[in-house]
Amino acid sequence: MNKTLSTDMELFAAALSQVTVAVIQHTADDIPVFIAAGVIEKYTTHYVKIGETSYLRDESEFRIEERSSY
């Protein structure tokens, strides 16, 4: 199951644990499109930097794959 990271605390935890984060952006028709994946290097209130690219938080979703605890 995928979890969308939206708060500063969630982004901080993902950066600290160095999990792979997927970047998703939506088209004008609201179709989700996979853009990139990698480890969060830096984030601010306006953007998240993954690799050499910064993604605007208002225009992107950041998702991680949650592991079940079974």
| pLDDT value for 70 | 60
Inter-residue contact 37 to 20 (CB < 8 Å)? yes
Tell me the per-residue pLDDT of 11-60, one tens digit each, with 9 for 90 and over: 999 999 999 999 999 999 999 999 999 999 999 999 999 999 999 999 99
For 9, the 3-state DSSP assignment is helix
**Beta strand pairing call for 61-65 and 21-26:** antiparallel
pLDDT at 67: 72
**Token pair 């979703």: residue:** 61
Query: Could you tell me the pTM of the whole model?
Result: 0.88
The three-state (H, E, C) secondary structure of 17-39, written as one string: HCCCEEEEEECCCCCEEEEEEEC
Of 61, 59, 39, 35, nearest in space to 51 by CA: 39
